Structure 1
Amino acid sequence: MKTGVDHGTRGGLLGAVEKLYRFATEQNDGKDRLDAIIASGDFDAIETVLGGFLVNLRNESACDAVDRERTWQTAVLFIHDVMDHLGRTTSAEMTRVQANLLRLQHLYGQIAPRPPKPPMPIRALPAVVVEDIYEQFNPMSERNPFRTETLRWRNYLIFLLMLHLGLRRGEVLILPADAIKEDFDPETGEDRHWINVVETLDEDPRSVAPSLKNAFSQRQLPIPKDLVTLADRYILNYRGQPGHAYLVNSQKGKPLALSSLAEVFAIITANLSERAKKALTDRGKSSVSPHDLRHTAAVGRLARYIKNGNDLETAIEKMRVFFGWSMMSQMPRHYARAYFATSTDDICAENFDIFVAALRDATGEQK
């Protein structure tokens, strides 16, 4: 190791070497082996230890966003220096050791633990944007940009399923017409409603067939009565009798395509108010996408869980189930960061009130 370094630097170097030794011991059932393989010149074993150590450092950096490049470089330098020293016994041995050291340097010298990724941007839509697209999607609004009454009610239903249930675009497009279920709850004395998000077994005629993202995407979600009323209205009055089982149709009575859904949001984006466009620009965005609604739904639901008295860990696990994330997904914690970094909790509470009021206004239902 280098001499002539200050106390703090020396401590850091020794800490890196100690970490390497500790890792090698843990990988050998608690038995120290690094000294033995260095002394024996077992370069295959040394490469195995260094390779595992590199993976370990990368995993740690991914978890805590701490750069461990210096730890890695110190470990490689330590192995190099010790082997170099041990290789000076004879000129023949020195040649062999130097050749292997060059091989190690070639394999590992340019590799450092992967730098930590910057935190994901907060993509929950600003309140002004949500209010603007609420107004556009409302079938009764003068700002609604869609030409026919059927399109207005269909797109309104899609919008609310995405914003308030956080459904992915593929999940919305594979919902069957009977996805919403109902049962009597003896504890409350009221009917309860839920929606089944499952992979369909029906033949899909779409050229690019939507599907669930993974096995965790299959789930049951509670659905508010107001949204049930809207879905019933769409099915009874606007869906018609198409030759397929999917909930939402194209204008020709076929299952709605992913490209057609993208066009709906392109139209909404084109008709945003100047104030809403500025709010998007301030967030580094130029358009509203279906997945933006899922991001917004996630932050809003986390806010509701916490306001209802759940601690953060419980709220995160509930989020995992509700949004169909795997046990390894870091997405719930990303939204926890978004929740604490902004006033989105207040925004989403206000938007939920808008949601209920708009639904009742559109369906003619009284409070």
Structure 2
Amino acid sequence: MHRTRLAPLNFQTSIVVDDYNIPRFWSTIWLDSFKTRLANSTRARYCKHLSQLYKHTDELYGTRSLDRAITNLNLDQIEQILSGFLQKLRRDQYMVRQPSGSAETWRICKDFVFTLLEYLAPIAAEASVATILLRLQHRVQLYDQLSATTRFHRHAAIRLIPATVLGELVAIFSPGSADNPFKSIDQQWRNWLLFNLYLSLGLRRGEALLLDADCIKQDKVFSSKGVQEIAWLTTFHSASQDHDPRYSKPSLKTTFSQRDIPVGRELLSIFDIYTHNFRPRSKYPQLLISRNGLPLSSARVNSIFCRANGALSRSARATLNQHHSVTLSPHSLRHTAAVYRIHSYMSQGDSLDIAIEKLRVFFGWAPNSQMPRLYARAYFESSHQQIWTESFDDFIQGLTASIGAQCNVEA
């Protein structure tokens, strides 16, 4: 921020300048054209907030990159800038415990960017006006529902597993892999199914342990595309509770946790191979069975993930620590699955509110739970951090590709 000194005192006003004391182009236009009635003190405060956005953008993309992005209507880069800046504000606010300042900075900077985009979009080339306006409207809807402030609860932290680490976990859990630390082939297939239930469907630890051996149902439906086969998983059966010898019995977190979840071909294939070939004989109805024929316990699940964590390379464990000290657990896979899901919904064109409600149903949260919005914020943050190195859809489809030959043989 800088106050001009060449003009008479009555005409001096605050402007935003770069490191060479050159006025920032679009901030000057915005303040002089759209905020003409601001008091001097208010204008100075606006300049202070805008300076943060410009400084953040300069550090990431170079000097004057924000003004260039606005001039060129580069919406992809503007989205990256705003999502990264929102993440920075929320991180700084968490560290210094000053939510009001972060909220005002976000509000002013968002107003600055979108006001200019709304002004510039109709001036663009005629053929692209409709597309630009449509994309702009979508961006406004997304960011209007996000906030720089957050409550300081420990559970608010979202722990995502980077794709590079997921790649190693595939090798560790894949049956027959040289990196698989589990000895027997039946254990390997059980743990491979367990890994996929947590990652693909985002089940809670206890929800997976409550599943019965017949938890997945299949049917055929008629549609405009012809006859299609569908499969879904039911997260709870009363038989699991009636015949459960475990000392520490798993349970559903809430009544909303009981739900039907669509199942893809990859997970269905793993489920069929395990249940038909490697599930031990047992008098109990639970899907996941230990070597002694008893339902798998929570302590055993913790032991499985502890052993998998020990099999990770040193660089993979260092990567987990770099991302907010992420620990490998069923719940970290649930976090990862939830952020992917909301990314998938929004990529299909759903508004943020619709995506959040879909997420709420899929993961079994209560109507008043704020967890879906936390995952929405984590989606924007992870986009900026580039945690994903590849499409999660492609990743999920590739889970069985590495053992495709084994699937054919065992089936």
Q: Which residue of 1 aligns with 2:31?
A: none
* Pair 228,302 (structure 1): closer, same or farther in 2 beyond 3 Å: same
Name stretches of at least 5 consecutive residues in structure 1 with no aligned partner.
Answer: 1-7, 9-64, 69-114
Equivalent residue for 1:141, pick from 177, 184, 187: 177
Q: Which residue of 1 aligns with 2:312?
A: 272
2:235 paired with 1:191? no
Structure 2 distance, partners of 1:295, 1:246, is 25
2:238 paired with 1:200? yes
Structure 2 distance, partners of 1:229, 1:364, is 10
- What is the deviation of 1:214? 0.5
Q: Which residue of 1 aligns with 2:302?
A: 262
Equivalent residue for 2:201, pick from 141, 148, 165: 165
TM-score, normalised with respect to structure 1: 0.66
Structure 2 distance, partners of 1:337, 1:192, is 32
2:377 paired with 1:364? no
Instruction: Check conservation: 2:282, 2:293, Cα contact below 8 A.
Output: yes
- What is the deviation of 1:317? 0.5
Structure 2 distance, partners of 1:252, 1:118, is 41
Residue type at the aligned position of 1:214: T
Please state whether the residue corresponding to 2:260 is helix, strand or coil. strand
Instruction: Check conservation: 1:227, 1:359, Cα contact below 8 A.
Output: no
Equivalent residue for 1:242, pick from 266, 277, 282: 282
* Pair 212,356 (structure 1): closer, same or farther in 2 beyond 3 Å: same
TM-score, normalised with respect to structure 2: 0.59
Q: Which residue of 2 aligns with 1:55?
A: none
Instruction: Check conservation: 1:168, 1:294, Cα contact below 8 A.
Output: yes
Q: Which residue of 2 aligns with 1:293?
A: 333
Q: Which residue of 1 aligns with 2:355?
A: 315
Equivalent residue for 1:339, pick from 375, 379, 397: 379
* Pair 256,355 (structure 1): closer, same or farther in 2 beyond 3 Å: same
Residue type at the aligned position of 1:200: S
Q: Which residue of 2 aligns with 1:222?
A: 262
Structure 1 distance, partners of 2:151, 2:340, is 28
Percent identity reads 38
Residue type at the aligned position of 1:258: S
Deviating beyond 3 angstroms after TM superposition, the runs of 4 or more aligned structure 1 residues are: 65-68, 344-347, 358-362
Instruction: Check conservation: 1:299, 1:335, Cα contact below 8 A.
Output: yes
Equivalent residue for 2:395, pick from 319, 344, 351: 351
Instruction: Check conservation: 2:243, 2:285, Cα contact below 8 A.
Output: no
* Pair 320,275 (structure 1): closer, same or farther in 2 beyond 3 Å: same
Structure 1 distance, partners of 2:151, 2:365, is 22
* Pair 297,155 (structure 1): closer, same or farther in 2 beyond 3 Å: same
Please state whether the residue corresponding to 2:368 is helix, strand or coil. coil
* Pair 286,334 (structure 1): closer, same or farther in 2 beyond 3 Å: closer
- What is the deviation of 1:236? 1.1
Name stretches of at least 5 consecutive residues in structure 2 with no aligned partner.
Answer: 1-40, 42-97, 102-149
2:152 paired with 1:117? yes
- What whole-Å deviation, never above 9, does each CA across 1:270-319 have from its counterpart, x for those lacking one? 11012211111102326311111100110111111111221211111000
Structure 1 distance, partners of 2:152, 2:270, is 42
Please state whether the residue corresponding to 2:398 is helix, strand or coil. helix
Please state whether the residue corresponding to 1:245 is helix, strand or coil. coil
Structure 1 distance, partners of 2:151, 2:194, is 37
Instruction: Check conservation: 1:194, 1:223, Cα contact below 8 A.
Output: yes
Structure 2 distance, partners of 1:171, 1:359, is 26
* Pair 213,358 (structure 1): closer, same or farther in 2 beyond 3 Å: farther
- What is the deviation of 1:359? 5.8
RMSD of aligned residue pairs (Cα, Å): 2.2
Please state whether the residue corresponding to 1:183 is helix, strand or coil. strand
Structure 1 distance, partners of 2:310, 2:339, is 25
Please state whether the residue corresponding to 2:309 is helix, strand or coil. helix
Structure 2 distance, partners of 1:150, 1:293, is 22
Instruction: Check conservation: 1:226, 1:360, Cα contact below 8 A.
Output: no
Instruction: Check conservation: 1:127, 1:347, Cα contact below 8 A.
Output: no
Structure 2 distance, partners of 1:295, 1:274, is 23
- What is the deviation of 1:199? 4.5
How many residues align structurally? 256
- What whole-Å deviation, never above 9, does each CA across 1:229-277 have from its counterpart, x for those lacking one? 2111111111132010000101101000000010000000111012211
Instruction: Check conservation: 1:174, 1:200, Cα contact below 8 A.
Output: no
Bigger Cα Rg: 1
Structure 1 distance, partners of 2:232, 2:211, is 13
Residue type at the aligned position of 1:195: L
